[in-house]
Amino acid sequence: MSDPVLEIRGLRVDYGLGDAAVHAVRDVDLTLHRGEVLGLAGESGSGKSTLAYGLTRLLPPPGVVSGGQVVYHPVDGPPVDVLTLSPAELRQFRWAETSIVFQGAMNSLNPVHKVSTQLLDVIKAHEPRSTAASRLARARDLLRLVGIAADRLDSYPHQLSGGMRQRVMIAMALALEPQVVIMDEPTTALDVVMQRQILGQLAELRERLDFAVLFITHDLSLLVEFSDRIAIMYGGRIVEEAPAAQLYGRALHPYTEGLLHSFPALRGPRRELTGIPGSPPDLRAMPEGCAFHPRCPKAFDPCDKKVPALGAPVADPGRAVACWLHPAATPVPH
Ligand code: ATP
Ligand code: SF4
């Protein structure tokens, strides 16, 4: 595996303070390697967006990062903890080192400005000494890169389809050649054909430009197709992590198994669609022990008492899972 570019260590994010705080992200450890696509999946409310907002320090109040580190490794220079950057350093970090495409980002294009103005503004803000001609050439290249004709620079957002607007947002995210691109449900608002077209294009771009992607979605089937590794989130914790093909071939966590049985098989023999009974936990009243135990068909004695930590199971040392079914499981430290 390539070197890490972003290491999330023990990240905790709460909504509110003191006894009233809701712990939406709990002790998350996650490493993104250079040039890889890491998928993050889980049902609605599992904490995926909170994790993305927390690690980029874009969390709106009452959200607070209450612990952990987010270590970014620049191509040259020493690693930095994003959580300790000054506001000026943070501005540089966003877009230039790490850029973000959020859910419904296409609606964040300014309707009264042409696409050209918005793309050129991003480039100019970070490269004030570049010439107008070089910025224009760059903007045209970026549009072509995401499969849009360069003459669309003169369009206003309302003159573009939803898919095109979302691709413009992806072009903006790539404008400064960041090392990391975080995408939170970037294609959810689009139809299935358009989703796959954009993701296929993204995979191609990643091959050429070699950025790493943290791709967040509730749709595990998309991740199986488009990511190198997959992490599964439940009740604010990562409960399983594995290379995409291995996870699809055999899930180690009963929750992952349930997610895999919620969509038709992508290849191989057909499998029964069973879904997952019950609903995700209420973060204000989390069950004791493993958060999944009220829904888990395999729950047994320790499950409702102790929370299993994410660790390597004996039989699959290259993977990680948080479940008492695996003999090497240990409880999370208090
Ligand atoms: P979705 O796919 O629906 O966006 P998600 O997995 O991204 O879901 P989050 O949006 O991160 O989940 O939400 C995680 C939890 O934090 C949810 O249970 C939600 O109720 C809670 N939460 C989010 N925003 C707030 C807030 N402002 N105040 C209190 N709790 C919040
Ligand atoms: Fe199910 Fe127990 Fe594993 Fe949780 S720890 S997923 S309840 S078997």
Measured at the CA of 255, the angle between CA 326 and CA 289, to 5 degrees, comes to 65
Please say which residue of 253, 271, 286 terminates a domain: 286
Are 62 and 118 contained in the same domain? no
Decide if pLDDT at 187 tops 80: no
Residue nearest ligand 1's atom 9 by CA: 47
From 11, 62, 5, select the one nearest 182 (Cα to Cα).
Answer: 5
Are 21 and 10 contained in the same domain? yes
Are 258 and 136 contained in the same domain? no
pLDDT digits (tens, 9 = 90+) for 241-260: 999 999 999 999 999 999 99
pLDDT confidence of residue 92? 83
Q: Does some domain include residue 307?
A: no
Are 256 and 209 contained in the same domain? yes
Q: Does some domain include residue 293?
A: no
Please say which residue of 270, 286, 302 terminates a domain: 286
Are 58 and 132 contained in the same domain? no
What residues have CB less than 8 Å from 208, skipping those under 6 apart?
A: none
Q: How confident is the model at residue 31 (pLDDT cuts 50, 70, 90)?
A: very high
Are 80 and 228 contained in the same domain? yes
Q: Does some domain include residue 212?
A: yes
**pLDDT, mean of residues 175-201:** 82
Decide if pLDDT at 324 tops 90: yes
Least reliable range by pLDDT among 223-227, 270-274, 282-286: 270-274
> What angle separates helix 162-174 from helix 132-145, to the nearest 10 degrees?
130
Q: Does some domain include residue 29?
A: yes
CA distance linking residue 51 with residue 47, whole number of Å: 6
Q: Does some domain include residue 316?
A: no
Are 228 and 157 contained in the same domain? no
**pLDDT, mean of residues 311-320:** 86
229-234 and 80-81 beta bridge pairing: unpaired
30 touches 206 (CB < 8 A) = no
Question: pLDDT: is 19 or 48 the higher one?
Answer: 48
DSSP 142: H
pLDDT confidence of residue 288? 94
pLDDT digits (tens, 9 = 90+) for 165-181: 888 988 888 888 899 99
pLDDT digits (tens, 9 = 90+) for 133-161: 999 998 998 898 888 899 999 999 999 98
Least reliable range by pLDDT among 118-122, 124-128, 252-256: 124-128
pLDDT confidence of residue 263? 78
- Percentage of the chain with pLDDT > 90? 58
Question: Best substitution site from 12, 17, 40, 49 to test ligand 1's pocket, by max atoms within 8 Å of Cβ?
Answer: 49
- For residue 299, report the distance from its CA to the centre of ligand 2, in Å: 5
Q: How far is CA 248 from CA 218, 221, 243, 245, 261, in A?
A: 15, 9, 9, 5, 10
Mean pLDDT, the chain, integer: 90
Q: Does some domain include residue 308?
A: no
pLDDT confidence of residue 206? 85
pTM for the model stands at: 0.92
* Residue ranges making up the domain that contains 32: 4-97+178-286
Are 85 and 110 contained in the same domain? no
pLDDT confidence of residue 105? 67
Q: Does some domain include residue 260?
A: yes
Measured at the CA of 32, the angle between CA 220 and CA 247, to 5 degrees, comes to 35
Residue nearest ligand 1's atom 28 by CA: 15
Are 41 and 132 contained in the same domain? no
Ligand 2 atom nearest to CA at 324: 5
CA distance linking residue 135 with residue 158, whole number of Å: 23
Closest ligand by atom to 289 CA: 2
Please say which residue of 248, 265, 286 terminates a domain: 286
Q: How many domains does the chain have?
A: 2
Ligand 1 atom nearest to CA at 236: 14
CA distance linking residue 305 with residue 273, whole number of Å: 30
Are 77 and 50 contained in the same domain? yes
How many other C-beta atoms are found inside a 10 Å radius of the C-beta of residue 28? 24
Instruction: Cite the beta strand spans of the chain per DSSP E.
Output: 4-15, 22-33, 37-41, 63-72, 80-81, 98-101, 180-184, 212-217, 229-234, 237-243, 320-321
280 touches 235 (CB < 8 A) = yes
Q: Is the peptide bond before 313 cis (omega within 30 degrees of 0)?
A: no
Beta bridge partners of 232: 41, 240
Residue nearest ligand 1's atom 15 by CA: 45
> b vs e for 127-138, b when ≥16 Cβ sit within 10 Å of the residue's Cβ?
eeeeeeeebbeb
Q: Does some domain include residue 166?
A: yes
pLDDT confidence of residue 63? 96
Are 124 and 56 contained in the same domain? no
- For residue 267, report the distance from its CA to the centre of ligand 1, in Å: 33
pLDDT digits (tens, 9 = 90+) for 48-107: 999 999 999 999 999 999 999 999 999 888 999 999 999 999 988 887 899 988 877 667
Are 183 and 144 contained in the same domain? no
**pLDDT, mean of residues 7-13:** 97
